[in-house]
Amino acid sequence: MAEAGSFADKVKTQADIVRVIGEYVRLKKSGQNFMGLCPFHSEKSSSFAVHPVRQIYHCFGCGVGGDVFKFIMEVDKCTFPEAVRAVAEKCGIPIPRQRTHDPAEQQASSQRKNLLALHKDAAAWFAEQLMSTVEGKIARGYLEDRGLDRETIAQFGLGYAPSAGDALLRQFRGKYQEKLLDASGLISRDPSSRAYDRFRRRVIFPIANDTGKVIAFGGRALGDDLPKYLNSPETPIYTKSTVLYNFDRAKEPLRRLDFAVLVEGYMDAIGVARAGVGNVVASCGTSLTEPQVRLLGRFTRRVVVNYDADTAGQAATERSLTLLLSEGFDVRVLALPGGADPDQFIREQGGKTYQKLLGEAPAFLDYLIRRAQKGDLASAAGKVRAVNSLLPYIQRMPDRLLRSEWATRVSQQLRIDEPVLRESLRRAAAERRSEVKLKTEHVAGGARPSERRLIRMLVDADDFRDKLAEEIRANDLQRGLGPEKIFTVLLDVIASGQRPDPAYVGDMLEEPDRRLLNEIVFEPSSETTWEEAESCLAALRRRRLETELTEIQRKIAAGPEPADMRALLELKQKLSRELAESSN
């Protein structure tokens, strides 16, 4: 608590809480307050309020609240004195020289200050090596081959670490104590404790914190040296799981555009930024972490994941989806054609092409469904495997409406009976299982009794086959059915004036549908009548009405514009009446 007359009290009086919190949360004016998505829990609608007159915040969803210092302490996980200092810096309030009587705290504070100074000097020295040495000329050639001009090199502060084993050590040994050099991670030691430069013969990428201060480096080897990429170790000023590369430059575009582009590496981030997409960040050569997701969440809840298309990149994409969905993010996935990484694609196809594809990036589950469709979907077991590959991501969706919508999409794309799929998903959730159990007759090649009877009638009913085919075709009743392909081929054959011989029809079908057709043809069958056909057609019409009604209800729940809402409600009433009449 800020005591009257204290420096903390002065800061609290002068600080603009809306401005401070606005760096972490996208706020919009709402009456006398400002509203946004709470950074302390996952939510889709704004319940986090900031009162500019009383200088307080409160979340009506999770109940957190307090003053500007409490907010900084909670969001940045820092102490009260650190929060006071952070708010003062953000608001441009001069900070008096701090006096502390705790030797350990004083020593730690001094070390952090000196490490920041060392990293600033090191970044400048690496940049000088790149631009003014013979070795640096070779490194510049590599960067130019990657499409980077001098302006971009300067913008991102790129540098070069010479191949000599102790060039940096000799440069800074006189200015900084060797103990500090050890703590910085810029030097390493061999088994005999001999010191040498950690980064040698590498292009250097400075890594900054969210305020733009250099806290670490990444190095890309020239030639065949391993590892290809080498990062600074963790230090008193650098914890790699909490830092996103380029975040300091991306903050303002993130806030303005309200979405982030997430890539894997330094060159990808630079390439995407050069293509005019400033809201790009990279995970600094490590898998995406919860702290990094929370850092992003301070500015946006929308992310396009654009990792490499190789096996490692696909695995990293799926790991990132798990984290992002758990935190309530709206996630899309951009898988570039030809398996190119972002940097390569932009150099070959151009920034405008990249931006176009970025705008068309599909929702994450569409991406996963497309991947699942590349597997074995010809068998029931293959379809069950495909559903189970999607299930963990569906379960992590916090919004029930979205889960329901995607269950419909999955059933349609994988040709699985929707009610059965929904029941299987419900049971899996209730039993906390990460897989579903589906019966064979409800997945690939399955067909409902009414559908099986209609197929049999199209094959056998000589007296009303043409009439039945015309009724199905005129109302497009075969669309979306499990055995849709069987119906389509049968209808085409009948329309051509031929009698649908099962062997002839089977030759035009793929194996699962051919097998189903043969099963239906060999089933024991009673005499077919037009009355039974009408009953089966009525079942198909009801199913079509139920599907359309579900889609209308989904659109209504999404909260459209008033004019659209009226039209949807009228259509819902019409469909409901038709469904009721069809059931009588």
Q: Counting beta carbons within 10 angstroms of the beta carbon of residue 267, is it exposed (0 to 12), middle (13 to 18) or buried (19 or more)? A: buried
Place of tokens 């990036």: 361
For residue 97, give the DSSP letter. P
Residue 386 or 67, more confident: 67
Strands 214-221 and 202-208, bridge-based pairing? antiparallel
Residue 472 token pair:
């199905």
Residue 295 or 422, more confident: 295
pLDDT tens-place string over residues 147-162: 999 999 999 999 999 9
So what's the pLDDT on residue 126?
Answer: 98
So what's the pLDDT on residue 441?
Answer: 47
| Confidence grade of residue 284 (pLDDT, cut at 50, 70, 90) | confident
pLDDT tens-place string over residues 172-193: 998 999 999 999 999 999 999 9
Long-range contacts of 149-158 (CB under 8 A, 24+ apart): 152/270, 152/274, 154/127, 156/205, 156/206, 156/270, 157/123, 157/127, 157/206, 157/214, 158/127, 158/130, 158/203, 158/204, 158/205, 158/206
So what's the pLDDT on residue 404?
Answer: 76
pLDDT tens-place string over residues 539-549: 888 877 877 77
Residue 16 token pair:
């603009």
- Residue 130 pLDDT greater than 90, yes or no: yes
Q: How far apart are CA 424 and CA 123, in angstroms?
A: 56
3-state DSSP percent of the chain in helix, strand and coil, to 5: 55, 10, 35
| Confidence grade of residue 107 (pLDDT, cut at 50, 70, 90) | confident
CATH of region 256-361: 3.40.1360.10
Residue 402 or 15, more confident: 15
State which fold the 449-579 domain adopts: DNAb Helicase; Chain A (1.10.860)
Average pLDDT over residues 495-515: 86
So what's the pLDDT on residue 195?
Answer: 94
Residues 43, 328 contacting (CB under 8 angstroms): yes
- Residue 583 pLDDT greater than 60, yes or no: no
Q: How much of the chain exceeds pLDDT 90, in percent?
A: 38
| Confidence grade of residue 442 (pLDDT, cut at 50, 70, 90) | very low
- Residue 558 pLDDT greater than 90, yes or no: no
Which of 26-35, 269-278, 373-382, 423-432 has the lowest average pLDDT? Answer: 373-382
Residues 133, 254 contacting (CB under 8 angstroms): no
Task: Name residues whose C-beta falls within 8 Å of residue 309's C-beta, 6 or more positions apart in sequence.
Answer: 335, 336, 339, 340, 341
Residue 532 or 581, more confident: 532
| Confidence grade of residue 231 (pLDDT, cut at 50, 70, 90) | very high
pLDDT tens-place string over residues 41-82: 877 788 999 988 788 999 988 889 999 999 998 887 778 888
Average pLDDT over residues 409-430: 74
pLDDT tens-place string over residues 318-340: 889 888 988 888 899 999 988 88
Whole-prediction pTM: 0.64
Domain ranges of the chain: 7-90, 109-238, 256-361, 368-442, 449-579
Average pLDDT over residues 258-275: 95
Residue 324 token pair:
């992002």
Average pLDDT over residues 381-388: 77
So what's the pLDDT on residue 45?
Answer: 83
So what's the pLDDT on residue 444?
Answer: 42
So what's the pLDDT on residue 308?
Answer: 84
| Confidence grade of residue 439 (pLDDT, cut at 50, 70, 90) | low
Residue 502 or 233, more confident: 233
For residue 363, give the DSSP letter. B
- Residue 482 pLDDT greater than 80, yes or no: no
Residue 525 or 294, more confident: 294
Q: Does domain 7-90 have CATH number 3.90.1150.10?
A: no
Rounded mean pLDDT of the chain? 85
So what's the pLDDT on residue 372?
Answer: 79
Task: Name residues whose C-beta falls within 8 Å of residue 113's C-beta, 6 or more positions apart in sequence.
Answer: none
Average pLDDT over residues 195-218: 94
pLDDT tens-place string over residues 159-168: 999 999 899 9
- Residue 1 pLDDT greater than 60, yes or no: no
- Residue 440 pLDDT greater than 50, yes or no: no
- The reply to whether omega before 233 is within 30° of 0 (cis) is no
So what's the pLDDT on residue 139?
Answer: 95
* CATH code matching the domain that covers 109-238, chosen among 3.40.50.300, 2.60.40.290, 3.90.980.10, 1.10.1740.110: 3.90.980.10
So what's the pLDDT on residue 413?
Answer: 75
Cβ neighbour number for residue 518 with a 10 Å cutoff: 14
Which of 248-252, 356-360, 536-540 has the lowest average pLDDT? Answer: 536-540
- Residue 380 pLDDT greater than 80, yes or no: no
Q: How much of the chain exceeds pLDDT 70, in percent?
A: 92
